[in-house]
Amino acid sequence: MTKVIVHSLFTDFDIDLFKAGKHFKLYEKLGAHLIEVNGVKGVYFAVWAPTAQSVSVVGDFNYWTQGEHNLNVRWDSSGIWEGFIPDISKGALYKYKIQSSINGVITEKADPFALYCEKPPHTASVVWDLDYKWKDENWMQNRQQHNALDKPYSVYEVHLGSWKRADHNRFLSYLELADDLVKYVKETGFTHVEFMPIMEYPYDPSWGYQLTGYFAPTSRFGKPQDFMVLVDRLHQEGIGVILDWVPSHFPDDAHGLGYFDGSHLYEHPDRRKGYHPDWKSLVFNYGRNEVRAFLISNAVFWLQNYHVDGLRVDAVASMLYLDYSRKEGEWEANIFGGRENLDSISFLKEFNEVIYANFYGVQTIAEESTSFPMVSRPTFTGGLGFGMKWMMGWMHDTLKYFQKETVYRKYHQNDLTFSMTYAFTENFMLPFSHDEVVYGKQSLIYKMPGDEWQRFANLRLLYGYMFTHPGTKLLFMGAEFGQTSEWNFEQSLDWHLLQYDFHSGIKRLITDLNQLYKSQPALYEKQFTADGFEWINYSDHQNAVLSYIRKGNNPDENVIVVCNFTQVVRENYRIGISKKGKLEEIFNSDASIYGGSGIENGKSLKIESIPYDGREFSVELILPPLSVTVYSFS
């Protein structure tokens, strides 16, 4: 058996950066790399295990025998074990057998930097490369035009394992999705896709939020290059790709990061900071330099090697607070006596600084549900540095309002108008995500009150209100055609529903709303600033009607939005207008093509010199039942 040859990819500068927590391309050094040494092909292995007494590479090439291929520890106290093993090729299976110098414990671990993993439930790492010829040059050179904060940003959230399945409930592969999913997203008009975590995970019911292979796209759907094809195809069709990223916690599976070298290497050693009671998982030690470098390197890896356009960071609230989901006595205050996790806050700021400094035209998005200030503000002003933040308060208040019978809505209009008191404190994304359609919460269509017609009218109204409200948009798969059942990760969406008019009408509505959003600069150019929005009338509680103006850079392109939140048709409904001219109805959620009653305004509505709503002019409209109507000046 060929033994390990002493070899290193690390320079002294690499080691200095690693120790300082400033090496953000660790994946180029750690892990398994197919290289050639003195004319001999093989694999260079490197793993961080500072408390190890010995580290062996075991795999199908040595019958999983410990001691056959022992790595050498570096002399520089970095804790890195490394070596070159000849005659191993791409596709070889391997793990690390690590014996602790502290207690003699032997762990058998998958490679934290593995590029590919065995298909679960198997847990070995696979020697692989990232060779691929990308064809998305045009997108990559111009993606700032698609991802900027003053551009339309409509996101389709997808769980790859349950979007659609083949016969006998088989997963679709990345390559099949590169045909079916790309075509569908293009057809429905979304600007971006957000994939729920695709990094390798062992347990399907975690939906991918309990990761063990941070650098490997899950092998459930194919090889790494197959996932590249999916991203590439989306880019070629002008669609951006966002990945769910989970730096907040990780599972304690035996082959994972937990207790990696017999010590608390990746997780915080204090259980009050290193264990998450909600998810029964481990929490990263954000104060340890090497762990910070691991996580930031991972973020850089997906942006660099998979051409990803953004990262949606999961469970940020759990990272920010030491007492998150913990009872009194289960947490310890920071050095200033507060509940903020200072190490985590520092880490998030550095993560955002590195991403925005190194990748032009990308976005980071925080799933953060508290009132923590300045999440989406630059770090140089004291913010966390994210590009956007999920507007969880808007989502909860809006759904609470819509679940009410229409007769009671006039008493609760403040549930809707309250969002505008804080809408511009952050760069908000409006999310109707997977979390809202599981665990007994019902699908969006069944949150709506009334008979069947009213349910669908309410849903059309909800979507119209969402797309005309300031902020970017996110919709979970299935919502775009009125999925009736709760999301089930073990099966396909209910695509058969599209044979019914109400459901196909919802899909057409979403397609047209995406087109409206993209075609009207007033809906996106100032979607994060107060001067992009103006109330016409927010106090017509009695009729449960809201009217407002969305503004862009050109005042002539402003649009007017009127929402009727009851099933009563409002004829001769007058709203104030600030200038003369005519209005044209450019969108109506009650149109018959969507399954509505077909009540419409004329194509040309004359603005009259009749003062109203504190304005010099006004116009008279017909408000269809449970509808959003949108008007432009003509």
- At 176 the three-state DSSP class reads helix
- What proportion of the chain, given as a percentage, has pLDDT over 90? 97
- What proportion of the chain, given as a percentage, has pLDDT over 70? 100
> Which among 367, 368, 397, 480 is annotated as catalytic?
367
CA distance 433 to 2: 52
Per-residue pLDDT reduced to its tens digit, 250-299 = 999 999 999 999 999 999 999 999 999 989 999 999 999 999 999 999 99
Type of residue at 347: F
Per-residue pLDDT reduced to its tens digit, 64-76 = 999 999 999 999 9
DSSP per residue, 320-333: HBTTTT--TTS---
Active site residue 367: yes
* Domains in the chain: boundaries: 12-126, 530-633
67, two tokens:
């001691």
Active site residue 179: no
pTM: 0.96
634 has a pLDDT exceeding 90: no
CA distance 634 to 26: 57
108 has a pLDDT exceeding 80: yes
Per-position b or e across 253-288, b if 16+ CB within 10 A of its CB? bebbbbbbbbbbbbbbeeeebbbbeebebbbbbbbb
125, containing H or E segment: strand 125-126
Per-residue pLDDT reduced to its tens digit, 198-211 = 999 999 999 999 99
pLDDT band at 3 (very low <50, low <70, confident <90, very high): confident
Q: What is the DSSP letter of 515?
A: H
496 has a pLDDT exceeding 60: yes
Cα torsion through 609, 613, 614, 620, rounded to 10: -10
CA distance 303 to 299: 7
Per-residue pLDDT reduced to its tens digit, 202-239 = 999 999 999 999 999 999 999 999 999 999 999 999 99
Q: Which residue, among 510, 537, 549, 545, has the nearest Cα to 622 in the 3D structure?
A: 545
Output the furthest CA–CA distance in the chain (Å, rounded): 94
Q: pLDDT value at position 602? A: 80
Q: pLDDT value at position 103? A: 87
Q: pLDDT value at position 2? A: 67
404, two tokens:
């009410």
Mean pLDDT of 158-168: 96
**Which superfamily, per CATH, for 530-633?**
Golgi alpha-mannosidase II (2.60.40.1180)
Per-residue pLDDT reduced to its tens digit, 387-424 = 999 999 999 999 999 999 999 999 999 999 999 999 99
User: Do residues 563 and 573 lie in contact, with contact meaning Cβ atoms separated by under 8 Å?
Assistant: no
Lowest average pLDDT, out of 306-310, 329-333, 511-515, goes to 329-333
Alpha helices in 390-482 (DSSP H): 392-402, 414-417, 444-447, 452-468
CA distance 513 to 520: 10
CA distance 629 to 26: 52
Q: Which residue, among 70, 116, 125, 112, has the nearest Cα to 265 in the 3D structure?
A: 112
Question: How many other C-beta atoms are found inside a 10 Å radius of the C-beta of residue 569?
Answer: 16
> Which among 232, 314, 343, 397 is annotated as catalytic?
314
CA distance 11 to 479: 51
Per-residue pLDDT reduced to its tens digit, 581-627 = 999 999 999 999 999 999 999 878 999 999 999 999 999 999 999 99
Q: Which residue, among 528, 531, 524, 317, has the nearest Cα to 428 in the 3D structure?
A: 528
Mean pLDDT computed over every residue of the chain:
96
CA distance 572 to 579: 19
Q: Which residue, among 460, 441, 122, 78, has the nearest Cα to 290 in the 3D structure?
A: 78
Question: What would be the CATH architecture of the domain defined by 12-126?
Answer: Sandwich (2.60)
CA distance 149 to 139: 17
Type of residue at 181: L
User: Do residues 170 and 209 lie in contact, with contact meaning Cβ atoms separated by under 8 Å?
Assistant: no
1 has a pLDDT exceeding 60: no
Q: pLDDT value at position 160? A: 97
Same CATH fold, 530-633 and 12-126? yes
Per-residue pLDDT reduced to its tens digit, 456-478 = 999 999 999 999 999 999 999 99
Alpha helices in 495-578 (DSSP H): 501-519
- At 553 the three-state DSSP class reads coil
115 has a pLDDT exceeding 90: yes
Per-residue pLDDT reduced to its tens digit, 543-571 = 999 999 999 999 999 999 999 999 999 99
